[in-house]
Homo-oligomer: A and B are copies of this chain.
Amino acid sequence: MLSEFGLIARYFQQPGLANAGPWSPQLGIGDDCAVMSVPEGYQLVVSMDTLVADVHFPAVASPELIGYRALAVTVSDLAAMGAEPAWFTLGLTLPEANSDWLAGFAEGLQTLAQKVGISLIGGDTTRGPLTITLQVHGLVKKEKWLSRQCAKPGDDIWVTGTLGDAAAWLPYLQQGVEEKPTDENLRTLWNRYYFPTPRVVEAQKAVALGCRCAIDISDGLLADLGHILTMSQVGAQLDFSSLPASQALQQLLPELEKQQQIMLTGGDNYELCFTAPPHLAGDITHSLSPLCPVSRIGQIIETPGVFTTSGQPVSISQQGYQHFN
C-alpha cells in the first residue's frame, strides 16, 4: 500500500533536496501549503511541465537519470526568463511504491537541485501510470526578465552551447539502448540527452547586459525561434554555417546537410536562443563564453518567416519536437 505521507517524508523531505538553495521557504513540505516570501523588488515567475513515461522519457531508464532530466528541462524554462531558481513542487504518479526507484529518482532530483539552487517545497504523490509533473518557481528583479515578445529587427540571434546532440541520441533510444555507451562520441550524445544543462547563469548574465528576448530550445531551433518570431511579429535570417555543431555530431553525421537538419529541427537540447542589439555582441561574447560556447547564428528582420543569408525561405520541414517513441 502506497502511503502518501510516508513516501514524502522518506524520500523527498531530505535536507539536501528540501533546502537545496538559498531561498528557503518559511514553511515547506508537510502542511496544506508551502509559504514563501518573495523579496521586495523581485517578481515571481513559474512554469509547469508534465512528463509522461514512454512519451517524454523511457520508463526503463534509470530513476536517477529520469529525476535529473525532468528537473533540468523544467528549470530550463526559468533560464529562458533569466530567472534565479528558487522553489519547486513535484506531482509524482507511480504504479507502485518501489523504494529503489524512489531513492534513485530523489537522488537525480537532488543532484540537479543542488546544482541550480532550487528547493523542493511540496507536491503530491498518487498511484497510477508513471507521470511526473514539476512546477518551478523563480525570482527576477522587477521588469528585468526575458520573454518571447521582445525581438526587434536588427537584433542578432544567439544560441548557447551546441545544437542537435540530444536529438541525435533519439534513434539509439528508439532501438532500446539504455546503457551509457563506451564510444566517446555516442557518450556525448547520451550525456546531452540525459543531462541537459539549463542555462540559468548564462541567461542571468544576458539580462544584466540588457537582453530582453529569449526562449529555451526544447522542440528544436526552428520551432522555438518560430515562437519568438510569431510573438514578436518579426522574421529571421539564419546563417547555417554558424550553427554550432559539437565534435561528436560532426563525426557521427559527417554529411553537412544532415548535421544542419538536426541542428535546426532536433529538440531535447535545452540550449538558450536569445536576441540582442548588435552593439551588445562584444559584451555577450566576453561575458558568456567563459561559461559556455555562444554563437551568433543570424539576425531578426522585419519580413515574417525564416530565410537563409542568401534570402531563400527555409524549406526544411519545421517539424520540431520528436517524441522518442
Contacts and interface: CB of A to CB of B under 8 A. Distances in A.
B44 A37 contact: yes
Interface stretch (A127-135, A248-256, A289-297): A127-135
A80 interface: yes
B32 A133 contact: no
Interface in A139-167: 140, 142, 145-149
A26 B38 CA distance: 15
A183 interface: no
A288 interface: no
Interface in A99-148: 121-129, 131, 133, 135, 137-138, 140, 142, 145-148
A128 B92 CA distance: 14
A142 B27 CA distance: 13
A26 B124 CA distance: 28
A257 B48 CA distance: 45
Interface stretch (A11-19, A49-57, A261-269, A306-314): A49-57
Interface string A37-80: 11010011111111111011000000000000000000001101
B45 A33 contact: yes
A128 B52 CA distance: 7
A129 B131 contact: yes
Interface residues of A, number: 60
Contact of A83 (B33, B47, B121, B215): B33
A91 interface: yes
Interface centre among A45, A52, A140 (most CB of B within 10 A): A45
Given A31-B147, A50-B93, A128 B129 contact: yes
Nearest to A52: B128
A218 to B, nearest CB: 9
Q: Chain A contact residues: over half helix, strand or loop, or mixed?
A: strand
A149 B26 CA distance: 13
Contacts of A148: 30-32
Contacts of A216: 32
B38 A38 contact: yes
A137 B81 CA distance: 20
A93 B49 CA distance: 11
A36 interface: yes
Contacts of A24: none
A69 to B, nearest CB: 15
Contacts of A133: 48, 50, 91, 124, 133
A142 B40 CA distance: 13
A32 B75 CA distance: 10
A294 B146 CA distance: 48
Contacts of A47: 32-34, 122
26 contacts: A26-B43, A27-B147, A31-B147, A32-B146, A32-B148, A32-B214, A32-B215, A33-B138, A35-B44, A35-B140, A36-B45, A40-B40, A48-B90, A48-B123, A50-B91, A50-B92, A50-B93, A50-B124, A50-B126, A53-B128, A55-B127, A89-B135, A129-B131, A131-B131, A133-B133, A135-B135
